Amino acid sequence: MSRGLAVLVGITAGCLVGMQAPINSRLGKTVGSFQAASFSFLVGTAVLVAIAAFVRGGLGSLGQVSQVPWWALVGGLLGAVYVTVALVAVRTLGASGLTAVVITGQLAVSVAIDRFGLLGVARAPVGLQRILGLVLLVAGVVLVVRK
């Protein structure tokens, strides 16, 4: 995938994530927060299983899941925590406030992952530009979340 296409796909994914919390929150107001998060994951799981069944290789090498490090298996758990927290927090912070704090948290952790080569990612230096970027994001959060 080219860098330009990757950026476009990433922006599209970001737009979808920006819609996810308000949609799940609306569902949660009617059926309950944990029930909404569960339903969200049920639908997502069904779609992914259907896609996996029809792409080249079918269900692939799921039998080899025991050969990955334990932390490679907690992505779904992290997603469940995120979806549940987001659908509750969006009621207080709004969609833009929630997105601002989530992106800031994501970037802060991502910089640490790059710097220390965590979770199988190659080490990457963290320079003044990245630190300044984080500081500006925090300032942006204050501006977006402030009443």
Q: Which value, to the nearest 10 degrees, does the dihedral of the CA atoms of residues 56, 61, 65, 71 take?
A: -30
Tell me the average pLDDT across 44-70. 83
Task: Name the band, by pLDDT with cuts 50, 70 and 90, for residue 58.
Answer: low
Per domain, the residue ranges of the chain are 3-145
Q: How many CA atoms lie within 13 A of 111 on its CB side?
A: 16
Question: What are the tens digits of pLDDT across the range 80-106?
Answer: 999 999 999 999 999 999 999 999 999
Tell me how far apart the alpha carbons of residues 100 and 108 are, in angstroms, rounded to a whole number: 12
CB 104 within 8 A of CB 141: yes
